[in-house]
């Protein structure tokens, strides 16, 4: 209610389609000015630090202070056993799924902390395991490790960012959609 949202991703075309769906839903339930509530920024690769800086600058220029940071971007990983995986593939998954979270938290959290409030949510995965339990996903170990890292990052930073900033990681299981259906 009243939120203004910036969506970012690599594909501007997909972002614009998602924006139209959201705007239509908001219009359908009677929110005023739904077109003004959702903005998009394309050509943002979360594995690219310059893109992370551009996203931060765009968000703060657009909105000033940001109340919620939702780290939901990522890639599925290399689909190889860890012993067969190229280091470049491992690093790409870590950059996209874990280091991007750190990068954006590092940019947004100081402003949230100074204001005395903020929320950060890292969208992890069931395959990132639990605190004392790993989930076997042998042909996607890069993905599993990166998602476990998102959870651990939230646990560790909660002690340093709180109580002003609430930081959590949620770990959904497989979600029905085009990726799960192989489309």
Residues that are catalytic? 143
Backbone dihedral angles phi then psi of residue 38, each to the nearest 5 degrees:
-125, 125
C-alpha 23/C-alpha 29 separation (Å) is 10
Contact 66, 108 (CB under 8 A): yes
């Amino acid at each position: 209610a009243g939120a203004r949202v910036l969506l970012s991703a690599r594909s501007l075309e997909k972002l614009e389609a998602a924006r139209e769906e959201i705007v239509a839903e908001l219009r359908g339930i009677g929110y005023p000015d739904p077109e003004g509530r959702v903005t998009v920024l394309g050509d943002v690769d979360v594995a690219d630090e310059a893109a992370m800086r551009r996203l931060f600058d765009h968000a703060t220029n657009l909105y000033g202070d940001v109340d919620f940071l939702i780290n939901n971007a990522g890639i599925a990983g290399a689909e190889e056993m860890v012993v067969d995986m190229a280091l470049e593939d491992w690093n790409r998954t870590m950059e996209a799924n874990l280091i991007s979270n750190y990068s954006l938290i590092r940019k947004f959290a100081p402003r949230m902390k100074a204001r005395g409030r903020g929320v950060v949510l890292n969208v992890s995965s069931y395959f990132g395991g639990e605190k004392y339990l790993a989930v076997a996903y042998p042909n996607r170990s890069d993905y599993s490790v990166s998602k476990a890292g998102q959870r651990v990052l939230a646990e560790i930073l909660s002690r340093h960012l709180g109580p002003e900033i609430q930081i959590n990681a949620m770990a959904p299981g497989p979600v029905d959609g085009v990726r799960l259906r192989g489309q």
